[in-house]
Structure formats: C-alpha cells, structure tokens
Structure 1
C-alpha cells in the first residue's frame, strides 16, 4: 500500500490546477497517474473512467477516489478525495466571504482564461493518447467516432448512457478475443459479499432515512437535501445545477445562487463544490459548518456507490467473457472525451485566433517537448493575463 500522505500530496497539487471541468480532470489524471507516475495502465484507467460514467455522482472525483483506493485502500481513497477537493473548497469559501469584486477583476478573468486554454491542451492530449491505445481496429475506431457524433448531436444523460451500453454490446459480440489483464498490485483485496455490499446498503439507508430526520435541525436538513441531490445526478458537473437550485428554493436569492455557480466554474476542481458556497449561505449562524455539511452531503452518495461496485469491478474485468464488452466501452470513452473536447472545453475557452495559437503552442510543449504540467500552468497564466491586458 502506498503512503497516504503521498497520495494526498499528488491529488492536492492537482486540485489547484485542474480547471476545465470533468473532461479536463480526466486528462490531468491520465497525464499524472498513467504517463508520469505509472500508477496504473491505460487499460485500467479507461475502465475506471467508464465505470464512473455509469454511476451517479461527480465523475472525475469518482475516478480520483478509485485511483486512491487502488493505491492505498479506503484511507488512500479518502486522501485522494480530500486532496483533490480541498483547494476548490477553500477557494469557494474565500469567494463566499469576499465580495464579487475579486471575480470581476480583469486580472482574475485573465488567469481563468489562460487556465481554460490549458484545459483544451490537456484534454486533446488525453484523447489522442487514449485513441492510440484503444482504437487500433476499424471497429473500435468506429465505436469512438459514433460515440462522439451521437453525443455532439444529442448531448445528455440518456444518449451518453445509451452509447456506452451499445458499445459494450458491440464489444461483447465482436471483440471477445481481446482479453483484459490487470496488474496484480492494482487488484484490491478480495472481500466477502457482505463486506462488498455494506456501502450499497448504507447508500440506500441514508437515501430514504435522512428525509425522515430532516426535521431535527437545519444542519440535518441541509445534509439530507444535498445527499438527495448527489444521489440523483448522473453526468456530474452542470447536471447538478437544476437540482441544487430546486433545493435552495426560497432559502437563497437567485443572484446569490448564480454568483455561486459562476464561482464554481471559475475555480479548479469539481463543480460539486458549488455545495460549499450554498451551504455557507444556508447556515448563517455557523456558515463554515454549513459549507462542510453540504459538501459532504453532495459527494457522499457517489462515493458509496463507487465503493460498493469497485470491489467487484476488477474481478468482473478479469472474466474473459466480459473483456470484449470492456474493450468496446474503452473505445466509447475515447469518443466521449472527443465530444467533450469540443463541448464544453473548446468552445468555452477558444474565442479568437490568438486563443487557438496559444492552444497549439501549448499542445506542442506538452506533447512534443514534454514540458512538466506545472510549467504549462505558469505559461498559461502569463498568456491569459497578457491577452486580457491587450
């Protein structure tokens, strides 16, 4: 087992620079843990990404949670989550305390714009690398292209789920000969059926039990409300917006809600930390406690589901009869990243020829010259600030 502090450190550093939403986070994770640190293979990483797409909750955070679990068990998973999420939580707390003048400043907007351009570079690199590994035949290439086309024409939860299922069926029928091999160190210890089901049982108990206890205090109600939202969000990110808006209702003005939503898009890390901002506003007597309660509530259900499934996922992946289905889903994940590269990553960041010039320059530095990611972060910030100034 890897040292928990080492896991925390790696995710904490990523938590400060992971701008661009879930697709960019997946790219950052791959660059760091597959290419740089060799914590796992591309095949194993693609499986974790595919699994996160089938479960409700914050997709990229679930991938990070799973990575931490593979390297350090439950303690490693918690360390990975805390490390990756803590920077975003701290920034959202700061923005909740400070006035809007910070987010409206030209300097701040320039920094954010530069980091959004970096997200385009990272996602493009991850897409190209994973395509090289998982799209080596005409069929797998066709699955990737079809997935991207469908999601670009018909974005949404049902289309995403549908293409992943069809990819799994196609792989099961036509890609059976390709087996999936897991490194021994990546396979978690075998657990009994009862132990494996404990997180799933806890998920159900909290889902139906918390609303019955919501009358006890405002803090319990906040935790219950945000837990319900986290249990119902497939696709993560922006999908949580309408659910949380319904939850806060008359408790929080629309202007405050939109300000929190804008702040969540401006800071690195998972957009689910919008709950941090909202919790701060909803429990004015002890705002920091409210922020932490709401944050824990919205993240917990996705992690309970992942933990319950992950313990058996690796064993299922070793089954030769399922290897073809997994290969089909791996190819579909490439298409999913390709569609996300355009919407929302590219169109939200590239607005001019200068922007595109910075993107292709950054891609050259990352892909060809192998510049460390922290060096790219510094250059992206400088480029964004200079562009906004002129």
Structure 2
C-alpha cells in the first residue's frame, strides 16, 4: 500500500485512524470536495477514492478497498457511490454513510437541476477545452490507481496473470456483463491458484449494521421492486410512477454509469414524459459535471411532464434511483466479514483483487484513454498529471485545475 516516496502509515498504525472514529460532518466535508472535483465517470471516481481514503487518510487498506470495489461491481447499482457509502459507514456509522452519499451526489444533482432550468451550460471553445482538460485528469487519476493497486495486489505470477486475463476479458468483451464475468473468473482462479501464503492482510471492516438490519434491507429492496409497479397501477399517481421508474432502473443495472441510460430512456422517453432531444441534452450535460452519472435522474425529475416536477421531482427521482443499490449493499455488508474469514474465501478475494486491477486497466484504455487522448499534447497533459499525483503527491484538485486550464488554453490557441 505504501509508496517508497510516501510516509503513509502502515496497516498496523491505520485501524485506529480509520474505523468508526470520525464524524458525519468530517465525512460530508471530504466527500463534498470529491463531489465537486471528481470528473471522469465511475472508474475515475474509484481512483479519486483510493487516493483520498487509502493513500492519504488510511481509512481503509488497499486489499480491503479492492475487495469492496469487487463486491460493489457484483451488486446492482452505482458501484462508485456504493463504495463511497460503505467508506462513510466505516468511518462514521449510518450518518457517515448518508453524509458520504449526500456530499458526493448533491453537487452534480444541483448543477443538473440548474441546467434543466436553462442555467449556463459549457458552450463555446473555452467550455469545450475545459471539459477536455477534465477528461485528461481522469486519465491521470485512473492510471495512478492502476499503477498503485497493481504493485500491491499483483505481487506474483498467479495474480499478475489473473489481472491480465481480466484485462483481456473486459477489453475484448466490451460490456458491463464482462466486468462481472471477469470478477467471477478472478474469484475462481484465486480459489484455485492463490491458496498458498499468508491470510489476506486487510483488517476486519467495521460495518455498524446488524444482520437483522441487513435482512430487513434485502426484504425492503425486493418488496419495493415487486410492489412499486402494483402501487403505481393502483393509484395512478404520477409521483409513484416517477419513483417506480427510477427505482426499477437503479435496481436492474449492473456496472452503473452509462449502463443505466437505456433503462432511463425507456422509462422517460417511451411514455412521452420527456422528449428525446431533452433527454440527450441532459445526458450531454451530465458528462460535463463531476460526481455520479446517476445524478442524471435529478435532471429528468425536474423536466418530466407529469407532476411532480421541478425540485420535488428532482429529489424524488434522485432518491429513487440510488435507493435500491444502497439497500442491497446494506443487506450484504453485515455478512461480509464472516465470509472473508474462510481460507477459501481469502484465496478467492485475492483473485478478485487482481481481477479488479485488470478491470481498471481495461477501463483506463477504453473509455478513459480512447475518449480523451487525441494527440501528443494530450499525452503530455495526462502524463504530467500522472507524475504530479504519483511522484509529487500533489492533491487531485491541483491536477484537476491544471488540466482544465491547459485544455482551455489549447482551445483558444494560447498554447
């Protein structure tokens, strides 16, 4: 986990600093900063989280973080938001979990609501340049995460090979289903190849959620998924129909992010609630803001045809789309430590950790690199950001600001 140029605490020193010792206000403040600066989509968000909570604050160690990422990739819902929710839960309990979700989500949701009301979008060459620079920031952030995690989680031939196979499966498969398949293959390969050696070094993760609460969360997830369509048909209330549409989209998507868009389009455009042009305009705006792409639901809730719309519709849609993923995560977490104690489970998780490295590596190439780097100057900006993050330990905000400024200057021909 440690960098030879970095004096981060060791695992032995870290637990007292990371488990249950913080406040919800502290969690909200840190996640709000991330929500304002985390451009680049869910894979980039995982890189930001790793830098903030594994490297800088040691709230969670590298192995446990990779396990958490692997778990959230398995579950339906927005994986990066689920990881953030779990980290907030570890740090400051249920209020910390809510604070993490609110801090990370509200900036993008508010910006998209303002866009729905006609607030200024990023038009013109300067705005396009800023967005391009921010996409190059994502290249540096994801590359830093892949580099650091590979050194820690793939220290031998078996795990390096698992990472390579996962990389190829995701890169050549080209779908979110392949991400889940890669993690499943990593678990099987780890169970088979990674039984030798010490037990998984990650400390127990303290989730202040009882098994009874976990079971209740899973029951609530299932009851809402099955019952909301019936309630919507019975009451014919537009608010219930809106909540049901976004809840269903959030519950049935794996991989999060862009995968949810076809479901949302089917839910909002097909019945005529939102025009196709308005849907696509909002999707474009969602690419321009930091934070989770699921915040796109706030835009749709603002402009949806039936009442409620406006701020009330935005709030209803925002809660509805995130709720299923957070419920199912709460349902699984109380049983996670018991699962991790088994020797076979530890071996499987070592394979999962290696597969996560391969998954991030594939995402670094496509879509992060292919959608952002278009020439030698772009390579230079991204590489500069990577060196600043890894060698100089510069705060991500500095890299975000520098890359955005470079993109804007290039757009107006100043460089």
Out of 32, 37, 52, the residue aligned to residue 12 of structure 1 is 32
Out of 268, 288, 291, the residue aligned to residue 290 of structure 2 is 268
Q: Give the Cα–Cα distance (whole angstroms) in 1 for the partners of residues 112 and 91 of structure 2.
A: 29
Q: Deviations over 1:310-351 (max 9, x none)?
A: 111122112223100000000000000000001111111111
> In 1, are the aligned partners of 2:133 and 2:408 still within 8 Å (CA)?
yes
1:265 Cα deviation (Å)? 1.1
> In 1, are the aligned partners of 2:209 and 2:330 still within 8 Å (CA)?
no
Matches within 5 A, 1:59-138: 59-98=79-118, 102-138=121-157
Q: Give the Cα–Cα distance (whole angstroms) in 1 for the partners of residues 179 and 394 of structure 2.
A: 34
Q: Which residue of structure 2 aligns with residue 208 of structure 1?
A: 226
Q: Which residue of structure 1 aligns with residue 410 of structure 2?
A: 387
Root mean square deviation of aligned Cα: 1.4
Q: Give the Cα–Cα distance (whole angstroms) in 1 for the partners of residues 230 and 34 of structure 2.
A: 38
> In 2, are the aligned partners of 1:171 and 1:325 still within 8 Å (CA)?
yes
Q: Give the Cα–Cα distance (whole angstroms) in 1 for the partners of residues 220 and 284 of structure 2.
A: 33
User: Which secondary structure state, in structure 2, belongs to the residue aligned with residue 57 of structure 1?
Assistant: coil
Q: Normalization by structure 2: what TM-score?
A: 0.90
Deviation >6 Å, runs of 4+? none
Tell me, which stretches of 5 or more residues in structure 1 are unaligned? none
Taking a change above 3 Å as real, the CA distance of residues 175 and 270 of structure 1, as seen in their structure-2 partners, is: same
Q: Deviations over 1:85-118 (max 9, x none)?
A: 011111111111115x623232222221111111
Q: Which residue of structure 1 aligns with residue 279 of structure 2?
A: 257
Q: Give the Cα–Cα distance (whole angstroms) in 1 for the partners of residues 401 and 307 of structure 2.
A: 37
> In 2, are the aligned partners of 1:121 and 1:359 still within 8 Å (CA)?
yes
Q: Deviations over 1:192-232 (max 9, x none)?
A: 4x332010000011111111111431111100111011110
Bigger drift between 168-177 and 272-281 goes to 168-177
Out of 368, 376, 380, the residue aligned to residue 391 of structure 2 is 368
Matches within 5 A, 1:331-346: 331-346=354-369
> In 2, are the aligned partners of 1:56 and 1:236 still within 8 Å (CA)?
yes
Taking a change above 3 Å as real, the CA distance of residues 287 and 172 of structure 1, as seen in their structure-2 partners, is: same
Q: Which residue of structure 2 aligns with residue 54 of structure 1?
A: 74
User: Which secondary structure state, in structure 2, belongs to the residue aligned with residue 102 of structure 1?
Assistant: coil
Q: Deviations over 1:250-298 (max 9, x none)?
A: 2211100000111111111111111111111115664110011111111
User: Which secondary structure state, in structure 1, belongs to the residue aligned with residue 326 of structure 2?
Assistant: helix
Matches within 5 A, 1:168-183: 168-177=187-196, 178-183=198-203
Q: Give the Cα–Cα distance (whole angstroms) in 2 for the partners of residues 189 and 80 of structure 1.
A: 15
> In 1, are the aligned partners of 2:189 and 2:351 still within 8 Å (CA)?
yes
Taking a change above 3 Å as real, the CA distance of residues 281 and 190 of structure 1, as seen in their structure-2 partners, is: closer
Q: Which residue of structure 1 aligns with residue 266 of structure 2?
A: 246
Q: Deviations over 1:48-81 (max 9, x none)?
A: 1000110010011011011111111211111100
> In 2, are the aligned partners of 1:182 and 1:318 still within 8 Å (CA)?
no
Q: Give the Cα–Cα distance (whole angstroms) in 2 for the partners of residues 173 and 318 of structure 1.
A: 17
Q: Give the Cα–Cα distance (whole angstroms) in 1 for the partners of residues 135 and 177 of structure 2.
A: 27
Out of 196, 211, 224, the residue aligned to residue 214 of structure 2 is 196
Tell me, which stretches of 5 or more residues in structure 2 are unaligned? 1-19
Taking a change above 3 Å as real, the CA distance of residues 181 and 136 of structure 1, as seen in their structure-2 partners, is: closer
Taking a change above 3 Å as real, the CA distance of residues 284 and 388 of structure 1, as seen in their structure-2 partners, is: farther
Q: Give the Cα–Cα distance (whole angstroms) in 1 for the partners of residues 202 and 341 of structure 2.
A: 7
> In 1, are the aligned partners of 2:36 and 2:290 still within 8 Å (CA)?
yes
Q: Give the Cα–Cα distance (whole angstroms) in 2 for the partners of residues 191 and 232 of structure 1.
A: 26
Q: Give the Cα–Cα distance (whole angstroms) in 2 for the partners of residues 135 and 286 of structure 1.
A: 49
User: Which secondary structure state, in structure 1, belongs to the residue aligned with residue 121 of structure 2?
Assistant: helix
> In 1, are the aligned partners of 2:89 and 2:208 still within 8 Å (CA)?
no
Q: Give the Cα–Cα distance (whole angstroms) in 2 for the partners of residues 161 and 374 of structure 1.
A: 31
> In 2, are the aligned partners of 1:181 and 1:318 still within 8 Å (CA)?
no
Bigger drift between 175-184 and 355-364 goes to 175-184
